């Protein structure tokens, strides 16, 4: 791989910016003075990278994407905040990722190997794990947390402060206003759970017997015979040997009282066909 850095004559790289080996800055790009581009970062054309922003090695950013812009938060008063994007991400056309706000954590973080499709948006103070996919037009409100290997369908909007557990799948054109447990499939406006993301579970290496236990735990957890909190204790006792079940329960109890996406009322005692092994 070419170790020489290339900056197109029409691009503007401001004094102070740090460019690693093999960086490519294409036509009409703008790189701000506090930006760090890791080795072999590729900015195709008309890309704007602003603020205190670090882009990890091997990340490729396509036309009209804007990274490190001001947070869309009226409480932000211009304090020093950051954006960090991991290595080997694929950031497509017109994606926007804003830096953190001084009314929040002050940092927006995107993990490694993320695939952010055209017009998707990551707002201020979001924490996005590794290997996350945002499909075209998917939107994260401020302060969201997204676990690794999550897939968010096209035109889906996630409300601010919502958490999405790892390997969850959010269907397209959904409105997600509560936390989504790990491995779940959530769809609709407002989104409800439709069982597990079985593809994600299989990719995580679960056996047939583990999938069956996960399905039984899901039915118990969301049974109409008790509250979710009451059912969670019974699930923990019955399935403490299934790490993925324990992960779900820990996700639900680690932050105190939260609002969760749950199955529709008429589906609480049934596992969805999506759960079939």
20-37 per-position pLDDT tens digit:
999 999 999 999 999 999
Query: Which of the residues 34, 73, 112, 125 is marked catalytic?
Result: 125
pLDDT for 268 = 62
Please tell me the distance from the alpha carbon of residue 179 to that of residue 158, in angstroms, as a whole number. 9
The pLDDT tens digits of the residues spanning 88-127 come to 999 999 999 999 999 999 999 999 999 999 999 999 999 9
Query: Which of the residues 142, 165, 195, 200 is marked catalytic?
Result: 142
pLDDT for 203 = 87
Query: Which of the residues 40, 76, 121, 124 is marked catalytic?
Result: 124
Question: Is 124 an active-site residue?
Answer: yes
For each of the domains in the chain, give its residue range(s) and CATH number, in order of start. 6-161 (2.160.10.10), 201-275 (1.20.1180)
Question: Is 112 an active-site residue?
Answer: no
The enclosing H or E element of 23 equals none
Contact by Cβ (8 Å): 151, 164 = no
Question: Is 125 an active-site residue?
Answer: yes
The pLDDT tens digits of the residues spanning 198-236 come to 988 888 888 899 999 999 999 999 998 888 989 999 999
The pLDDT tens digits of the residues spanning 123-180 come to 999 999 999 999 999 999 999 999 999 999 999 999 999 999 999 999 999 999 999 9
Instruction: Give residue 276's pLDDT band: very low, low, confident or very high (50, 70, 90).
Output: very low
pLDDT for 277 = 43
pTM: 0.95
Q: Which long-range contacts (CB under 8 A, 24 or more apart) does 20-24 make?
A: 20/57
Please tell me the distance from the alpha carbon of residue 39 to that of residue 34, in angstroms, as a whole number. 16
Contact by Cβ (8 Å): 141, 220 = no
Please tell me the distance from the alpha carbon of residue 96 to that of residue 217, in angstroms, as a whole number. 38
């Amino acid at each position: 791989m070419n170790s020489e850095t290339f900056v197109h004559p029409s691009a503007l790289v401001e004094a102070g910016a740090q460019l690693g080996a093999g960086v490519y800055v294409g036509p009409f790009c703008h790189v701000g003075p506090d930006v760090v581009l890791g080795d072999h970062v590729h900015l195709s054309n008309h890309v704007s990278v602003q603020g205190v922003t670090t882009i990890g090695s091997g990340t490729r950013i396509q036309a009209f994407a804007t990274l490190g812009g001001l947070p869309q938060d009226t409480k932000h008063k211009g304090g020093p905040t950051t954006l960090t994007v991991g290595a080997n991400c694929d950031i497509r056309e017109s994606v926007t990722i804003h830096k953190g706000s001084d009314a929040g954590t002050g940092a927006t973080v995107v993990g490694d190997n993320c695939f952010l499709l055209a017009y998707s948006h990551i707002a201020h103070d979001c924490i996005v794990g590794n290997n996350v996919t945002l499909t075209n037009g998917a939107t994260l409100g401020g302060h969201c947390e997204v676990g690794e290997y999550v897939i968010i369908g096209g035109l889906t909007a996630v409300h601010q402060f919502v958490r999405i557990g790892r390997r969850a799948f959010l269907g397209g054109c959904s409105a997600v206003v509560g936390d989504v447990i790990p491995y779940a499939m959530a769809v609709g406006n407002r989104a409800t759970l439709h069982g597990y993301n079985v593809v994600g579970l299989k990719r995580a290496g679960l056996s047939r017997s583990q999938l069956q236990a996960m399905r039984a735990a899901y039915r118990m957890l969301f049974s109409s015979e008790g509250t979710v909190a009451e059912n969670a204790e019974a699930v923990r006792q019955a399935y403490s040997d299934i790490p993925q079940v324990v992960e779900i329960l820990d996700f639900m109890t680690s932050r105190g009282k939260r609002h969760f996406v749950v199955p529709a009322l008429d589906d609480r005692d049934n596992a969805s066909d999506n759960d079939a092994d």
